[in-house]
Structure 1
Amino acid sequence: MELGTIVAKDDIWVLWAIIIVWATVSLFLEQRYQWASTISGAIIALVGAMLLSNFKVIPTSSPVYDTVWDYVVPLSIPLLLFSSNILKIWKESRRLLFIFLIASVGTMIGTTVAFIILNHSVPYLSKLGAMMTGSYIGGGVNFAALSSKLEAPSDMISSTVVADNSVMALYFLLLIAIPSIPYIKKHFNTQYGGKDTSGSQQAFWQPKKIQLLDIAFSLAIAIAIVAVSFKFSEFIQHVVPQSNVWLVILVSFFGDFYLLLTTLTLVVVAIWGDFFEKLAGASEIGTFLIYIFFVVIGTPASFVTIIKTAPLLFIFVIIILIFNLGLSLMLGKLLKFNVEEILLASNATAGGPTTAAALAIGKGWTSLVGPILIIGTLGYVIGNYAGTLMYQWLSYLA
């Protein structure tokens, strides 16, 4: 039980009020004031939550945060994908897939280097490295699956989660800031550089004609898709036996909830493209849910807890992300990728497709939201296999 916070972890309504009000304030400041627009509402949302949790106003964990991860995040995915017809964005997705795979290789190299450096100082590091490989190629679902599979001690798992969440909060800030660095502006290709960035943001935030039926259809269809995806995923995992490697691969591919959710949404949008092109309001609702998510991902970033429980794991995670981002930037520049594509691919591996979409929205890279959601979700499929391979490799190195 977490002690010493003004708002208790089970004070549900107060926590919901704080999260939603702060997300709203972040959006308001971004659209009303130039200084807030410059640093982006995403940073305001995330840093505000970090300050509230570190100064003991709100707890670092709560069922409310779990609800955001379990319900708000899945709901935001179809809402944001309604404007993304896969037939129209395949060209962009293909480019992003390549840089995504480069970032994934960077994760594996970084995990190996971090393991070599810290293996004698941190117990069970081969298991933790495998878990972080799965997480930093796929996402939390891969981390959970590999944690259960490898049976690492619960206290080490908890310390790794704390280190991961804290470093990721800082990593998001770094990714948001990188496009403004003079060296990056000078030496990297950009799709949204100069005046185009603010223009695209203004266009994204411009008032649109939205009817009540638009909101009703958006929410109804999104919730229906989430429900069908969840039940179908549950059905496949219970019905299909996993008695051999091919069936395991089959279940991992067709039974993964997030992959099903994205695939089903994309199929529906491709079939009824004309309807979804006319549907207004889905992106706005999805964007607000993303800002709620931005607030929540800042709450676990307790630096005091990190210093007390997981300083070496803190370093371990940082090394992985350095190689992930470093290799992405180096090869991305060599292969003439835009800096936006490089940063989103790195974000998608490290934080998952939703955080990558949040970065795209927060920076005004609206044309890349759909493609990065598509590509980022594929990480859920390969994350478990990459993590398993990494465990075998690190066990050999040990």
Structure 2
Amino acid sequence: MTTLISAEDTWALWTILSLSVAISIYLEQKYVWANKITGCILATIFTLVLANLNIIPTESPVYDAVWSYVVPLAVPLLLFNANVKKILKESGRMLAIYLLSSAGTLLGGFVAYFSLKNAIPKLNDIIPMFVGTYTGGAVNFVAMSEQYAVPGKTVSAAIVADNLLMALYVFVLISLPSMAIIKKLYKQPYEDALLAQSEEDRDKNKTMAAKFWGAKSISLKDIAFAVGIAFTIVTLSTKLSGVISGFFSGKDAFSQFMGGFFGNKYLLITTITMMIASFFPKQMSSVKGSQEIGTFLIYLFFAVIGAPASILLIIKESPLLLVLALIMVAVNMIISLIFGKIFKFSIEEIIIASNANIGGPTTAAAMAVSKGWTELIIPGLLIGTLGYVIGNYLGIFVGMVLH
């Protein structure tokens, strides 16, 4: 079908993608309603509307470039602070409830699969995406969708269902501390402390996104090192992936497992970045701007996701995918609340841990900021960052079990 902008009009399509991201970020940081929707889903909606109005094409080499080059670069940039030693030292308590919560995600994946395997085609390829993203964040969703070659239209429907469910879940998490049964069952030290805080000390004029992504000091050297290191890690991981996959080229089960697991490019990217961040924490943490650049690249991915999406397809497929996401998130929350109660975690710690699983480090940290739980901001960011690492491991593990 003919579109206003052709698939070969490279500059125009890159302009559409970058402007969609820029406008989404602006709206997310400026308006409360947009912050609740999230910039990611706004970027997806913009290109989805443009594609369904036949303004931009549903397929283009530009979109392929985002999948092949932009996304792999985003992964290491978002993992520059994945220092395992620091995570264990500063967030040991939060790490415990986070890992218990991630077990809920894993269990939820299997529950969703066996509940819907006869209703959703190729569900064994789709579940790893949701396990990955509900352990870490969008970067894991991207990695798993590419790993299992999930069709773009299915990914589009899944991402809409995921973001819609995430938006609803944020409202649930925010309202938990005010529920009578939660007040009765769980301690709330951070909420109790806020009750004694005067109203004028609270800043309610900024959205979560604006608070989290405030201006920082970033130099030209920071940008150069961040991009240079990311390119190096991706190149090394890609080359190493080919070597490992070639070494285990046999058709027996052992060779396929070893080649598929240890030869996975995204797994290598996350592992290598994590090792560098852990062994050279001072040097890596001194490189500013990696989170900002990496997040911008991930937003480009969300813009691309909207392009191949058919409204009719989403109406047709999203209800079942929404049920899938609902099952996984519900199991995660139930497991988090049960183990949180058993091991005497506060409701605030449980909320941030579950948020770090379902939404990733940025939403976890932003929620802690917006709620005034300042002591939980860094732990939420750190455990969520760890989720970027283990999300790919769990996603691939689930994929191998279901295949």
Could you say which residue in structure 2 is the equivalent of 1:391? none
Q: After alignment, is 363-372 or 229-238 more displaced? A: 363-372
Task: After superposing the two structures, state which structure 1 stretch, 133-142 or 375-384, moved more.
Answer: 133-142
Shift of 1:379: 2.5
The whole-number CA distance in structure 2 between the counterparts of 1:143 and 1:27 is 24
Structure 2 counterpart SS, 1:137: helix
Correspondence list, 1:24-43, <5 A = 24-33=22-31, 35-37=33-35, 39-43=37-41
Corresponding position of 1:51: 49
Over 3 Å counting, the alpha-carbon distance change for 1:115 and 1:247 in structure 2 is: closer
Distance 1:225 1:68 in 2: 18
Counterpart for residue 334 of structure 1: 338
The residue that corresponds to 1:79 in the other structure is 77
* Change in 2 beyond 3 A, CA 1:66/1:358: farther
Q: Is the 8 A contact 1:54 1:303 kept in 2?
A: yes
Deviation digits for residues 250-271 of structure 1, max 9, x if unmatched? 2233211111101100111112
Partner of 1:14: 12
Q: Is the alpha carbon distance of 1:289 and 1:262 closer, same or farther for their aligned partners in structure 2, counting shifts above 3 Å?
A: same
Equivalenced residues, count: 355
- Counterparts of 1:22 and 1:297, CA distance in 2: 12
- The 8 Å contact of residues 364 and 381 in structure 2, kept in 1 or not, is answered as yes
Give, in whole Å, the separation in 2 of the partners of 1:290 and 1:243.
35
Which residues in structure 2 correspond to 1:185-196 (within 5 Å)? Answer: 186-187=178-179
RMSD of aligned residue pairs (Cα, Å)? 3.3
Residue in structure 2 matched with residue 178 of structure 1 by the alignment: 169
Q: 1:185: how far off?
A: 5.1
Matched, 1:324 2:328: yes
Report how far residue 328 of structure 1 moved: 1.5
Per-residue CA deviation, residues 195-248 of structure 1 (Å, 9 max, x unaligned), is: 699687455322222221111111101100010001100111012343543333
How many Å apart are 1:73 and its aligned residue? 1.3
Deviation of residue 175 (structure 1)?
A: 0.3
TM-score with structure 2 setting the length? 0.76
Match of residue 103 from structure 1: 105
1:378 aligns with 2:376: no
The alignment partner of 1:113 has SS state of: helix
Give % identity: 27
Cα distance in 2 between the residues matched to 1:299 and 1:42: 14
Structure 2 residue 130 is matched with structure 1 residue 136? yes
Q: 2:59 corresponds to which residue?
A: 61
Aligned 8 A contact 1:107 1:133 in 2: yes
8 Å CA contact 1:84–1:266 kept in 2: the answer is yes
User: For residue 12 of structure 2, what is the amino acid of its counterpart?
Assistant: V
CA distance in 1, matches of 2:164, 2:276: 34
Query: What's the TM-score once normalised by structure 1's chain length?
Result: 0.76
Q: 1:267 maps to which residue?
A: 275
1:70 maps to 68
Residue 331 of structure 2 aligns with an amino acid whose one-letter code is L
Residue in structure 2 matched with residue 88 of structure 1 by the alignment = 86
More displaced stretch, 232-241 vs 186-195: 186-195
Amino acid at match of 1:272: F
Q: Which amino acid aligns with 1:65?
A: Y
Residues 62-71 or 315-324, more deviating: 315-324
Counterparts of 2:125 and 2:38 in 1: how far apart (Å)? 32
Q: 1:152-202 CA deviation, whole Å, 9 max, x = no partner?
A: xxxxx85xx524421421321330342234644534789998969968745
Question: Letter of the aligned partner of 2:123 in structure 1?
Answer: G
Structure 2 unaligned residues grouped into runs of 5+? 133-140, 195-201, 341-348, 370-379
State the distance in 1 between where 2:33 and 2:178 align: 23
Classify 1:57/1:101 alpha carbon distance in 2 versus 1 (closer, same or farther; 3 Å). Answer: farther
1:343: Cα distance to partner? 4.4
Structure 1 pair 40–332 and aligned structure 2 pair: CA distance change class (3 A) = same
**Separation in structure 2 between the aligned mates of residue 8 and residue 236 of structure 1, nearest angstrom:** 39
Match of residue 114 from structure 1: 116
Describe the superposition over 1:283-316 as per-residue Cα deviations: whole angstroms up to 9, x where unpaired: 2211211222222223333222456xxx3x5554
Are the equivalent residues in 2 in contact too, given 1:236–1:251 (CA < 8 A)? yes
1:221 alignment partner in structure 2: 229
Partner of residue 294, structure 1: 302
- The 5 A counterparts of 1:138-157 are 138=132
Secondary structure of the corresponding residue to residue 338 of structure 1: helix
Q: 1:345 aligns with which of 340, 357, 361?
A: 357
Question: 1:88-131: per-residue Cα shift (whole Å, max 9, x none)?
Answer: 11435554343223223222222222235x4xxx8xx5xx2333
Post-superposition offset of 1:38: 5.2
SS class of match (2:75) = helix
| CA positional deviation for 1:22 | 1.6
